[in-house]
A and B are shown apart, each in its own frame.
Chain A
């Protein structure tokens, strides 16, 4: 589904990604781990189309087509979704109104008419229940005054509503206590299918106990230096990243 070939990306002439290669197939869960400053969030931003990052070399192929020059909304229409590490607050737009607009904009891009109100309401109710989101939450301004955990649950709620093909979860576990983590993980697991894929960007191994990855990659200094299975994540948890650095030198 996603083929990243030799991807180089910079911000303000500084190289952050220095040749990323990654292949993700439908039905797979990939975890990307790495020390701070390795380029994890940059990778997420570049795939979703944040324009402060410039792709200087390489390709991002999504279902065979290069998306590296597409606008963020065009990538979303193709089925790419990113759950943000720090979701923005947008006072004045309610959660409900926001998600309705997003869904209908996506339908418009596919040549479909707006979703009928009754169907929309039913879908909202269903997905809110999945993420254990209280109804009164939905009429609040988007992310305004939300705790870290509430913001992350709201991100996964949006994912549930939009049903993307590829979901990139950027440090979704940061700032979550164990209960919130379980709810979020449960939501993601329910949404997983053989038709979609998930990339988990995470600093801690803890999330991977709940959302079990098929592959774990280590990102260091802008490159993926090691790939393995979930055992790799355990080893990193116990030993840190230094042993990998030593391996590379030798």
Chain B
């Protein structure tokens, strides 16, 4: 279907009936026309969006025939009749969502409900740094320099990222000037209320951290009902020289929520960026996480804990691109899979010819609790420099029998011993979490998921 100049009015019941015949891709293409109609023709963003929708049109949704999507099928998700451009605003009472925030400490908060900013639940700031909205950043003149310098500059031009770019209008915008130690962590939360039967959300986040500044960010997506939600999110993060960014993604959503998270991190010299991804919830979750080490002496840390059951699926697709010399990267993903859950780990490390003295380490360890659980793991190393240290290790197994026996010989029953081993296994990733309250929180979450009786302190 080609993009015609004909507009189609959405949220109109008659046209929705027509839509059922169109497949999801077609529906998105025609929605785009209506969406773009609301914007000025001559803004540079218009060109970016147009190029993006054309990329999506040419490639469509990835299928299992694509090497990068071999083990993750979106087919079941594409059947739903999604509301693509929700306009209704819904309110939520704080008491109903309090548990999704960190409440033992003070934080900045950028909160969205069904893709719309909630000033009531948020706590933004413009004092010394900007923690606010993408919609403001894209439209107000004062943000133009940052947008022109950074927006859409590190995101890949693959189909799903492009789809987001075409429809991008809201999300978190965080811009930190030089030499700032951001005093509080920033929580970015996307709620969906599920008043629509099925909802497509496409948040777009931009995070720019100035020279020598430090920030901690926690991101979460939470569906508050039993209706299907598909989130296709893009986050671009820029670390200027010597910046330190600690990013934590909490993926503990309901079982009808699916997430495609595209996060791109560009690092200038001597910067230090870490992303911890905790995947416990959701239906189908795909994490596309890419680090580009543009400057020398950078440090990149990618860690994850995945604990799944029933028919849940998580696909971690990581890329660390060592472009410059003298950089380090550490990846450690641990997964525990029960019932018929499935996991994918695809970890790519590219070391460019100039990237001498690179140290790149990758570790992926998995425990399969049931016979029906499956893991597909593919570490890929492409090394073009000759003076580097790269290692990768991948294990898939059941419990360490010697460790189990040791625990049981002390009187710890088999089930409790297995749980303790799983807890210990997952726990090692938590060592690098720098927000103590978050560490405790995730620790308790892991213990609950595994069924360990945490009578003890952390």
User: Is A57 engaged at the interface, CB distance under 8 Å to the other chain?
Assistant: no
Q: Is the CB of B409 within 8 A of A82?
A: yes
DSSP majority for the A interface? Answer: helix
Neighbour of A109 across the interface among B409, B411, B427, CB < 8 A: B411
Q: Is the CB of B414 within 8 A of A101?
A: no
Neighbour of B403 across the interface among A72, A90, A97, A101, CB < 8 A: A90
Q: Is the CB of A76 within 8 A of B408?
A: yes
CB nearest neighbor in B for A86: B402
User: Is B440 engaged at the interface, CB distance under 8 Å to the other chain?
Assistant: no
Measured between beta carbons, the chain B residues less than 8 angstroms from A158 are 410
User: Is B455 engaged at the interface, CB distance under 8 Å to the other chain?
Assistant: yes
If the complex has contacts A92-B423, A96-B456, are A76 and B411 also in contact, measured as CB distance less than 8 A? yes
User: Is A49 engaged at the interface, CB distance under 8 Å to the other chain?
Assistant: yes
Q: Is the CB of A71 within 8 A of B408?
A: yes
User: Is A15 engaged at the interface, CB distance under 8 Å to the other chain?
Assistant: no
Neighbour of B455 across the interface among A82, A92, A93, A100, CB < 8 A: A100
Q: Is the CB of B455 within 8 A of A90?
A: no
User: Is B97 engaged at the interface, CB distance under 8 Å to the other chain?
Assistant: no
Q: Is the CB of B456 within 8 A of A101?
A: yes
DSSP majority for the B interface? Answer: helix
User: Is B426 engaged at the interface, CB distance under 8 Å to the other chain?
Assistant: yes
User: Is A150 engaged at the interface, CB distance under 8 Å to the other chain?
Assistant: no
Q: Is the CB of B416 within 8 A of A105?
A: yes
CB nearest neighbor in B for A158: B410
User: Is B405 engaged at the interface, CB distance under 8 Å to the other chain?
Assistant: yes
Q: How far is the CB of B7 from chain A (nearest CB, A)?
A: 57
User: Is A87 engaged at the interface, CB distance under 8 Å to the other chain?
Assistant: yes
Q: Is the CB of B403 within 8 A of A92?
A: no
Q: How far is the CB of A104 from chain B (nearest CB, A)?
A: 6
A232–B75 CA distance with the chains assembled, in angstroms? 76
Measured between beta carbons, the chain A residues less than 8 angstroms from B455 are 100-101, 104, 114
User: Is A235 engaged at the interface, CB distance under 8 Å to the other chain?
Assistant: no
User: Is B406 engaged at the interface, CB distance under 8 Å to the other chain?
Assistant: yes
Q: Is the CB of B406 within 8 A of A87?
A: yes
Neighbour of A73 across the interface among B400, B414, B423, CB < 8 A: B414
Within 8 A of B (CB), among A180-214: none
Q: Is the CB of A88 within 8 A of B414?
A: no
A81–B412 CA distance with the chains assembled, in angstroms? 12
A96–B455 CA distance with the chains assembled, in angstroms? 12
Q: Is the CB of B403 within 8 A of A105?
A: no
A141–B413 CA distance with the chains assembled, in angstroms? 20
User: Is B421 engaged at the interface, CB distance under 8 Å to the other chain?
Assistant: yes
Q: How far is the CB of A184 from chain B (nearest CB, A)?
A: 18
User: Is A48 engaged at the interface, CB distance under 8 Å to the other chain?
Assistant: yes
Count of chain B residues near A, Cβ 8 A: 26
User: Is B448 engaged at the interface, CB distance under 8 Å to the other chain?
Assistant: no
User: Is B150 engaged at the interface, CB distance under 8 Å to the other chain?
Assistant: no
Q: How far is the CB of B449 from chain A (nearest CB, A)?
A: 15
Measured between beta carbons, the chain B residues less than 8 angstroms from A106 are 411
Within 8 A of A (CB), among B134-175: none
Q: How far is the CB of A159 from chain B (nearest CB, A)?
A: 10
Measured between beta carbons, the chain A residues less than 8 angstroms from B206 are none
Q: Is the CB of A90 within 8 A of B421?
A: yes
CB nearest neighbor in B for A92: B424
A84–B408 CA distance with the chains assembled, in angstroms? 13
Q: Is the CB of B424 within 8 A of A88?
A: no
Q: Is the CB of B423 within 8 A of A76?
A: no
User: Is A140 engaged at the interface, CB distance under 8 Å to the other chain?
Assistant: no
Q: Is the CB of B413 within 8 A of A105?
A: yes
Measured between beta carbons, the chain A residues less than 8 angstroms from B427 are 92-93
Bitwise interface map of A from 28 to 56 toward B, beta carbon under 8 Å scored 1, else 0: 00000000000000000000111100000
User: Is A127 engaged at the interface, CB distance under 8 Å to the other chain?
Assistant: no
A51–B409 CA distance with the chains assembled, in angstroms? 11
Q: Is the CB of B424 within 8 A of A93?
A: yes
If the complex has contacts A91-B424, A92-B426, are A101 and B416 also in contact, measured as CB distance less than 8 A? yes
A158–B160 CA distance with the chains assembled, in angstroms? 55
Q: Is the CB of A72 within 8 A of B408?
A: yes
If the complex has contacts A96-B456, A114-B455, are A73 and B411 also in contact, measured as CB distance less than 8 A? yes
User: Is A77 engaged at the interface, CB distance under 8 Å to the other chain?
Assistant: yes
Measured between beta carbons, the chain B residues less than 8 angstroms from A105 are 410-413, 416
Measured between beta carbons, the chain B residues less than 8 angstroms from A104 are 455
**Can you report 25 A-B residue pairs in the complex whose CB atoms are below 8 A from each other?**
A49-B409, A71-B413, A72-B408, A73-B408, A73-B409, A73-B414, A75-B409, A76-B408, A76-B409, A76-B410, A77-B411, A81-B409, A84-B409, A87-B406, A90-B421, A91-B424, A92-B427, A92-B428, A93-B420, A93-B423, A93-B427, A97-B456, A97-B457, A104-B455, A114-B455
**A→B interface (CB under 8 Å):** 48-51, 71-73, 75-77, 81-82, 84, 87-88, 90-93, 96-98, 100-102, 104-106, 109, 114, 141, 158, 162
Closest 10 CB pairs of A and B: A92-B424, A76-B411, A92-B427, A72-B408, A102-B410, A106-B411, A93-B424, A88-B406, A97-B456, A73-B408
- Given A72-B405, A84-B409, A92-B424, 10 more pairs with CB closer than 8 A: A50-B405, A72-B408, A72-B409, A76-B411, A90-B421, A92-B423, A97-B456, A101-B420, A104-B455, A106-B411
**B→A interface (CB under 8 Å):** 400, 402-403, 405-414, 416-417, 420-421, 423-428, 455-457
